[in-house]
Structure 1
Amino acid sequence: MRYVKWTLIALIVLIVGSFVHYTLPQHDIVRVVGTNTERTIIASNRAMFWSSGEPTRDVQFIQTVKTNGKTMEYRNEDTGWGWPPYFKFDTSSLYTEASDAVSNKANPEWYSITHYGWRNEVLSIFPNAIAIKPVSGADAKVVPWVNIIILTFFAIVLLLIWRMWVQFRERTIDPLVEDAGEAWDAVDDKADAFADSARSKARGVKGWFSNLRK
């Protein structure tokens, strides 16, 4: 039973952690190398990783190279009023900014791209770019203030929920368990007393028959 409990807890943590990591904004320092629009067929098993829309549609992409030399591609789609709640409606403007930010390896210009989501080549999914802004260089650091504020808020909420649960358990559940334990002890004591009485009567009957045989 203990293994089932910890397996369930680990599964919940994994699911919640994956959801949070996918949803919260992330920042990559990159060099933009190109932009393009591709006719894309989105399979039903991948639709949850794309913005809502037709399964076959034109999707804008931003092609970049990270500071470590690895490539990274981002899709550029509006989120609208849906989830995640980034309320992105400026796809065309972001595409123009990204196109204007293209630079080559000889004269690199570095940008911070804010995005959410994952890149997975097997599933053909791409993170969705939210914003792009120039930075001082490849070694620039971006402090994730939004993530810090959101995670701190949720940590406080979880702490409050935990404290409420502890107080509820101390005031309601523990007394019930204690009363049930006392009731069970009382029943057990009565059972022991009944058993002792029965044994005493049995000994009396046995002595009575012994006296008769004499």
Structure 2
Amino acid sequence: MRYVKWTFWGTILLIVLSFAHYTLPQHDIVRIVGTNTQRMDLGENSWFFAAPDVGTDGTISNSRDVKFIQAIQQDGDPMVYRNEDTGWGWPPYFKVNSFDVQAAATDLTSTEASPKWVAITHYGWRNQLFTIFPNAVSVRQVAGPDVSIWPWFNTLFIALVAFLLLMLRRMWLQFRERTIEPAMDDVNNALDAVDASADAARDKARGLWSRLTGRGK
């Protein structure tokens, strides 16, 4: 049972960490080499795409134009981002300016000979097998490829979640100490009283039987 317990909680932890890693913002320092808009016929991967852009026909969700930003990472590997509005949906970035982001990304396009390094804030994953792209939330030019951006939001968010979990655990321990444990003690005392009464009744019945059968003489 111990292995089942640890497997269960390990699976829950893995799901929570994967969800947080997909949802929380990340920062990449890249060089933008192009932007384009491509028609996408979404299938099983539609879970990893945002809803249609704000103001467009939301009923046509499985086939639509998606804006993309092509980039080169610091190590020379390519990286492609989608650029979609999140609107009022999940995750709660409230992004409604995908066209402005696309214009800024196009303006920051550069070549290897004359690079412009850009910080792209995004969420999500890149997976070539399932055709999944991270969603670019914002783009801005930075001084160079060695710029380091500390994830302040993630730090504060994780600290807040940890604080809330500690408070919930403390409240649960106090609730258990003040309510559940006394109730369990009352139940155990009641069961002990019932057992004692049963033992007394059994002894009384044995004594009566002995007197009736004459075995007590």
TM-score by length of 2: 0.86
By how many angstroms is 1:58 displaced? 1.1
1:136 to 138, 143, 158: 143
Q: Secondary structure at the match of 1:107?
A: coil
By how many angstroms is 1:197 displaced? 4.5
Q: Which residue number corresponds to residue 168 of structure 2?
A: 161
Q: Quote the Cα distance in structure 2 between the aligned partners of 1:175 and 1:38.
A: 65
Q: Quote the Cα distance in structure 1 between the aligned partners of 2:207 and 2:75.
A: 88
Q: Quote the Cα distance in structure 1 between the aligned partners of 2:216 and 2:176.
A: 59
Q: Which residue number corresponds to residue 111 of structure 1?
A: 118
Q: Structure 2 unaligned segments of length 5 or more: list them.
A: 53-60
Amino acid paired to 1:133: R
Q: Which residue number corresponds to residue 49 of structure 1?
A: 48
By how many angstroms is 1:9 displaced? 2.1
1:148 and 2:147 correspond: no
CA distance 1:140–1:200, shift in 2 (3 Å): same
Q: Secondary structure at the match of 1:113?
A: strand
Q: Quote the Cα distance in structure 2 between the aligned partners of 1:210 and 1:182.
A: 34
Q: Which residue number corresponds to residue 185 of structure 1?
A: 192
1:124 and 2:131 correspond: yes
What is the percent sequence identity of the aligned residues?
50
Q: Secondary structure at the match of 2:195?
A: helix
Q: Deviations over 1:23-54 (max 9, x none)?
A: 111101111111111111111x2222111132
TM-score by length of 1: 0.87
CA distance 1:186–1:210, shift in 2 (3 Å): closer
Greater helix content? 1
1:8 and 2:8 correspond: yes
Q: Quote the Cα distance in structure 1 between the aligned partners of 2:215 and 2:196.
A: 30
Q: Secondary structure at the match of 2:32?
A: strand
Q: Quote the Cα distance in structure 2 between the aligned partners of 1:167 and 1:15.
A: 29
By how many angstroms is 1:105 displaced? 2.4
Q: Deviations over 1:125-174 (max 9, x none)?
A: 11000111122222211011111222222222222222221121111111
Q: Quote the Cα distance in structure 2 between the aligned partners of 1:209 and 1:134.
A: 103
Which sits farther off after the overlay, 173-182 or 154-163? 154-163
Amino acid paired to 2:134: P
By how many angstroms is 1:190 displaced? 3.0
CA distance 1:184–1:79, shift in 2 (3 Å): same
Q: Secondary structure at the match of 2:159?
A: helix
In our comparison, the structure showing a higher alpha carbon Rg is 1
Q: Quote the Cα distance in structure 2 between the aligned partners of 1:210 and 1:59.
A: 97
